[in-house]
């Protein structure tokens, strides 16, 4: 959301961030939705986007309102403003959608549907809803760190999600140097990726997830399951030999792939260059998608947009 706010400001729009803990926090008063008064609501990690805070959402014909998939009830709260429901995930948005009438009700609403992943886009298309791609991008700080020349340990990183299946892999390969990513700060996770060879992720992938992208751009080989967004070759564009069903029958094959990637790291690392190239171009793609949806004009001074260029953060 902060990335979108920054992009809209760069495109010449008056963009503001209204913070809340749930959609029930908003109250309709005098032609606007008032949000709660949350002291210092912006997480420090998002401060660099410099998106101004507001306390209310104006319900006027020249306003567009963007809210996440976990607050679909806001699609029915506006009389004049144009609501935009951004499916940052699919899995996390289905239960809230059912609570306000389900997909059929959202299809019949005046809501514009934005999609953070091809997984979300195809899900909506299959149910008769037109979605607009609006993918997020990997933090410029992570891209900058990717240029570091570091010594890598033969370590296999994995997140807490999908632990039920990763435990089967650990039982088959107890000698492998497993390291769960849990309880670390973002900076510590970044340093782990820079100093490791493999990242394994058998979570649900409800959207185009951040951690596989950060692991890849920071030099790790990436092995995933086939749940959610990981099952298609657009959201997670890694070679098919690094994607596996989370079946116990696949455990020996997955462990062999891990051992090979550890032992042949330098050669196997090159298999992920297409993924890294995609990640480097994410911000340019995001800004162009925002421009396509909301209009506006990008002003970057002497900086032009090239097909292979990652746009710098505005000064």
Question: Is residue 312, in this structure, part of any structural domain at all?
Answer: no
Question: Is residue 307, in this structure, part of any structural domain at all?
Answer: no
Q: Quick one: pLDDT at residue 267?
A: 96
Does 299 have pLDDT greater than 60?
Answer: yes
Question: Is residue 12, in this structure, part of any structural domain at all?
Answer: yes
Q: Quick one: pLDDT at residue 297?
A: 83
Residues 145 and 110 in one domain: no
Does 97 have pLDDT greater than 50?
Answer: yes
Q: What is the mean pLDDT of residues 265-279?
A: 96
Assess contact for 147 and 118: CB atoms under 8 A: no
Domain hosting 86: range is 2-137+282-294
pLDDT digits (tens, 9 = 90+) for 145-196: 998 888 999 999 999 999 999 999 999 999 999 999 999 999 999 999 999 9
The count of domains in the chain is 2
pLDDT digits (tens, 9 = 90+) for 3-39: 999 999 999 999 999 999 888 888 888 788 898 888 8
CA atoms within 13 A on the CB side of 29: 8
Helix spans in the chain (H): 2-10, 94-99, 102-108, 118-125, 140-145, 163-172, 186-194, 210-217, 251-263, 265-269, 273-280, 282-294
Residues 25 and 112 in one domain: yes
Q: What is the mean pLDDT of residues 309-314?
A: 37
Q: Quick one: pLDDT at residue 31?
A: 81
Residues 117 and 153 in one domain: no
Question: Is residue 305, in this structure, part of any structural domain at all?
Answer: no
Question: Is residue 66, in this structure, part of any structural domain at all?
Answer: yes
Question: Is residue 262, in this structure, part of any structural domain at all?
Answer: yes
Residues 103 and 220 in one domain: no
Residues 8 and 28 in one domain: yes
Residues 256 and 133 in one domain: no
pLDDT digits (tens, 9 = 90+) for 113-152: 999 999 999 999 999 999 999 999 999 999 999 988 889 9
Question: Is residue 64, in this structure, part of any structural domain at all?
Answer: yes
Residue 44: pLDDT band by 50, 70, 90 thresholds?
confident
For the chain, the average pLDDT equals: 91
Assess contact for 211 and 196: CB atoms under 8 A: no
Residues 120 and 144 in one domain: no
């Amino acid at each position: 959301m902060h990335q979108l706010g920054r992009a809209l400001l760069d495109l010449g729009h008056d963009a503001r961030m209204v913070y809340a803990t749930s959609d029930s926090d908003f109250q309709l008063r005098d032609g606007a939705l008032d949000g709660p008064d949350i002291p210092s609501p912006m997480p420090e990690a998002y401060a660099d986007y410099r998106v101004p805070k507001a306390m209310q959402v104006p319900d006027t014909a020249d306003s567009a309102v963007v809210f996440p998939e976990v607050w679909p009830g806001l699609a029915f709260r506006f009389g004049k403003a144009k609501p935009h429901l951004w499916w940052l995930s699919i899995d996390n948005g289905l239960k809230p959608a059912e609570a306000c009438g389900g997909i059929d009700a959202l299809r019949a609403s005046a809501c514009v549907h934005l999609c953070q992943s091809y997984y979300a886009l195809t899900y909506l298309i299959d149910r008769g809803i037109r979605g607009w791609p609006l993918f997020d991008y990997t933090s410029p700080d992570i891209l900058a760190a990717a240029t570091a020349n570091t010594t890598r340990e033969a370590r296999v990183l994995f997140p807490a999600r999908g632990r039920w299946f990763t435990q089967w892999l650990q039982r088959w390969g107890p000698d492998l140097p497993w390291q769960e990513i849990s309880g670390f700060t973002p900076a510590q996770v970044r340093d782990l990726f820079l100093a490791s060879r493999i990242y394994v992720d058998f979570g649900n992938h409800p959207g185009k997830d951040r951690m596989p992208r950060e692991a890849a751009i920071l030099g790790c080989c990436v092995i995933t399951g086939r749940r959610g967004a990981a099952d298609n070759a657009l959201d997670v564009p890694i070679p098919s030999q690094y994607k596996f069903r989370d079946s116990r029958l696949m455990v020996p094959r997955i462990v062999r792939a891990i051992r090979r990637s550890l032992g042949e790291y330098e050669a196997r690392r090159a298999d992920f260059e297409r993924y890294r190239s995609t990640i480097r171009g994410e911000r340019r793609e995001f800004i162009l998608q925002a421009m396509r949806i909301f209009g506006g004009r990008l002003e970057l001074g002497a900086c032009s947009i090239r097909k292979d260029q990652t746009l710098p953060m505005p000064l």
